[in-house]
């Protein structure tokens, strides 16, 4: 991945921010005009509902309000100088997809699967503006994790935060702005800890959390006990950014995690013994690694159009994945253990079957840019892929990825996460004006209830 400190290359992020700022500036002007006109303010119930003047913030949007026509992000399109449809078209035409291989997105379009849009698998439930999900590196978007349908963990600037969708309350889990040091003593742990860690990636599973940093930092915390359990630095190389973390359990139940790093390494840590147990090196920076459900195969993607399937015990390459034409940043296994997906800056997600890797099973197309995050539901019925901004696509896996639900909004995406029970989908939206957490609930067809109606 690109070795940038901070948000992103200036020309990329400024163009993206400027587009949303135009809408934000119009919004601010509308609210300032309202403040200057007390009569209008008193007479307009709708204005009060969509803007909390006492707290100087735009209010949350509920499912009921959305059904009545309110924009899910609270954007008052009827009072802006541009319609939603026109602004969407402008974004589609002007959004700059970051590519390491020039024109990779255009070259991939001809092989993409034609899907049927209009699926409705998850219904909008709430847009929570009290929680601001943020991004530090423009290519890394794994900063939102749900551990239940009510509990979400995400990065908000230097704060690692827990959000409860039940109470709409948030709680600080870890503040990395200052000094963070382990409160437990384990061999190999850096007892001096770290100061002002820039968190590039995050993973949370059950009661265990790992945050990875720009300088190779790894911070491990058990959520059911106080303090930090373990700190480590993967490397002291200049090119040390931690690109991805995956937490998993061995067949024995032992807790492990893998760290993918820009120094071309993938490292496996045993969190029962708090030790590094494996370190594999590859020819290029590794942006993401994911372990198959049976623990026998490891999918590796990074700064190379080709991906790899390797033996997680030896690091030996078993298969090469050919098809993408740019660098990949996402991978995920279907629970069946036979199929998996990879996301690339060529604007595609490729679905693979381990039983025949000569070509991908399907090539799924994004609208704006790179596929930077992929998640499957635990029952394997749905797969979600996130673009860098504005679109999350949910596919019906059971029907061969033929049907998709396209979730359409405005803002950069910090991460997506299904709840372990598949009942909720959370989307982190990073934007200076409209930053929030979108919550969707799985649609259920309880036809047996019709007999009672």
Largest CA distance in the chain: 73
The enclosing H or E element of 130 equals: none
Predicted pLDDT of residue 57: 53
Phi, psi (rounded to 5 degrees) for 420: -55, -30
Predicted pLDDT of residue 49: 37
Distance CA 424, CA 405 (A): 15
Please report which residue ranges of 208-298 form alpha helices under DSSP H. Answer: none
Q: How far is CA 169 from CA 128, 144, 224, 393, 425, in A?
A: 10, 16, 18, 28, 18
363: CB partners within 8 A, 6+ apart: 108, 111, 112, 113, 323, 348, 349, 350, 351
Is residue 260's pLDDT more than 90?
yes
Predicted pLDDT of residue 25: 58
The DSSP code for 78 is: G
131: CB partners within 8 A, 6+ apart: 154, 156, 161, 163, 170, 436, 437
Burial 240-266 (b: 16+ CB within 10 A, else e): bbbbbbbbbeeeeeebbbbbbbbbbbb
Structure confidence at residue 451 as a pLDDT band (50, 70, 90): very low
Predicted pLDDT of residue 59: 85
Is residue 227's pLDDT more than 90?
yes
Predicted pLDDT of residue 17: 53
- Yes or no: say if 151 and 190 are a contact pair by the CB < 8 Å rule: no
Taking only the tens place, the pLDDT of each residue in 88-108 is 999 999 999 999 999 998 888
- Yes or no: say if 304 and 283 are a contact pair by the CB < 8 Å rule: yes
Distance CA 288, CA 335 (A): 18
Taking only the tens place, the pLDDT of each residue in 393-416 is 999 999 999 999 999 999 999 999
Nearest to 244 by CA among 197, 202, 281, 280: 202
CA 291 to chain centre: 18
Phi, psi (rounded to 5 degrees) for 60: -65, 160
- Yes or no: say if 202 and 147 are a contact pair by the CB < 8 Å rule: no
Taking only the tens place, the pLDDT of each residue in 32-59 is 333 343 333 222 333 333 444 334 456 8
179: CB partners within 8 A, 6+ apart: 193, 194, 195
15 or 259, greater pLDDT: 259
Is residue 187's pLDDT more than 60?
yes
What average pLDDT score do residues 141-154 get? Answer: 97
- Yes or no: say if 330 and 372 are a contact pair by the CB < 8 Å rule: yes
What average pLDDT score do residues 106-126 get? Answer: 92
What average pLDDT score do residues 215-237 get? Answer: 95
Based on its alpha-carbon atoms, the radius of gyration of the chain, rounded to whole angstroms, reads: 22
Taking only the tens place, the pLDDT of each residue in 348-391 is 999 999 999 999 999 999 999 999 999 999 999 999 999 999 99
Tokens of 391: 């679109």
18: CB partners within 8 A, 6+ apart: none
- Average pLDDT of every residue of the chain: 88
CA 174 to chain centre: 19
- Yes or no: say if 308 and 344 are a contact pair by the CB < 8 Å rule: no
36: CB partners within 8 A, 6+ apart: none
Q: 395 in helix, strand or coil?
A: strand
Percent of the chain with pLDDT over 70: 86
Predicted pLDDT of residue 19: 54
Distance CA 328, CA 210 (A): 22
What average pLDDT score do residues 58-76 get? Answer: 93
Burial degree of 357 (CB within 10 A; 0-12, 13-18, 19+): middle
Is residue 9's pLDDT more than 60?
no
Structure confidence at residue 13 as a pLDDT band (50, 70, 90): very low
Is residue 447's pLDDT more than 90?
no
Instruction: Please provide the size of the chain in residues.
Output: 453
Distance CA 308, CA 337 (A): 16
317 or 2, greater pLDDT: 317
Burial degree of 435 (CB within 10 A; 0-12, 13-18, 19+): buried
Tokens of 75: 């954007």
Cross-strand partners of 356: 353
Among the residue ranges 30-39, 117-126, 302-311, 421-430, the one predicted with the least confidence is 30-39
Predicted pLDDT of residue 20: 55
Predicted pLDDT of residue 107: 85
The DSSP code for 66 is: H
End-to-end, the C-alpha distance of the chain in Å comes to 56
Within 10 A of 49 (CB to CB), how many other CB atoms are there?
13
Predicted pLDDT of residue 405: 98
pTM above 0.85, yes or no: yes
Nearest to 427 by CA among 435, 419, 417, 441: 417
């Amino acid at each position: 991945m690109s070795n940038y400190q901070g948000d992103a290359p200036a020309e990329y992020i400024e163009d993206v921010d400027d587009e949303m700022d135009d809408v934000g500036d119009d919004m601010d002007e509308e609210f300032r005009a309202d403040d200057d006109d007390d009569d209008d303010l008193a007479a307009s119930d709708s204005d009060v509902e969509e803007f909390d003047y006492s707290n100087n913030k735009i209010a949350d949007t509920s499912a009921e309000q959305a059904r009545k026509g309110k924009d899910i992000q609270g954007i008052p399109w009827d009072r802006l100088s541009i319609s939603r449809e026109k602004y969407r078209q402008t974004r589609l035409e002007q959004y700059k997809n970051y590519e390491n291989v020039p024109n990779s997105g255009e070259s991939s379009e001809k092989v993409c699967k034609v899907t049927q849009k209009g699926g409705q698998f998850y219904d909008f439930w709430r847009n929570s503006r009290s929680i601001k999900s943020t991004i530090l590196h423009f290519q890394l978007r794994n900063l939102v994790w749900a551990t239940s349908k009510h509990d979400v963990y995400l990065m908000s600037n230097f704060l690692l935060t827990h959000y409860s969708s039940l109470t709409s309350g948030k709680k600080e889990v870890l503040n990395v702005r200052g000094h963070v040091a382990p409160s437990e003593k384990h061999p190999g742990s850096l007892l001096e800890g770290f100061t002002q860690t820039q968190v590039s990636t995050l993973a949370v599973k059950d009661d265990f959390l790992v945050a990875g940093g720009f300088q190779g930092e790894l911070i491990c915390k058990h959520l059911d006990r106080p303090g930090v359990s373990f700190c480590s630095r993967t490397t002291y190389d200049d090119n040390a950014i931690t690109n991805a973390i995956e937490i998993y359990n061995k067949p024995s139940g032992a807790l492990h995690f893998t760290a993918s790093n820009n120094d071309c390494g993938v490292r496996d840590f045993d969190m029962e013994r708090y030790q590094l147990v494996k370190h594999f090196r590859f020819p290029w920076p590794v942006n993401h690694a994911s372990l198959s459900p049976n623990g026998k195969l490891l999918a590796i993607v990074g700064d190379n159009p080709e991906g790899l399937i390797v033996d997680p015990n030896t690091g030996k390459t078993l298969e090469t994945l050919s098809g993408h034409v740019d660098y990949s940043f996402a991978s995920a296994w279907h629970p069946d253990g036979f199929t998996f997906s990879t996301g690339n800056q060529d604007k595609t997600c490729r679905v693979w079957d381990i039983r025949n890797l000569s070509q991908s099973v399907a090539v799924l197309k994004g609208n704006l840019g790179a596929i930077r995050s992929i998640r499957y539901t635990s029952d394997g019925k749905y797969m979600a892929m996130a673009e860098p901004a504005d679109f999350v696509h949910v596919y019906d896996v059971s029907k061969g990825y033929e049907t998709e639900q396209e979730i359409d909004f405005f803002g950069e995406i910090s991460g997506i996460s299904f709840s372990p029970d598949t009942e909720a989908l959370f989307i982190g939206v990073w934007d200076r004006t409209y930053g929030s957490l979108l919550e969707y609930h799985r649609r259920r067809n309880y036809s047996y209830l019709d007999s009672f109606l």
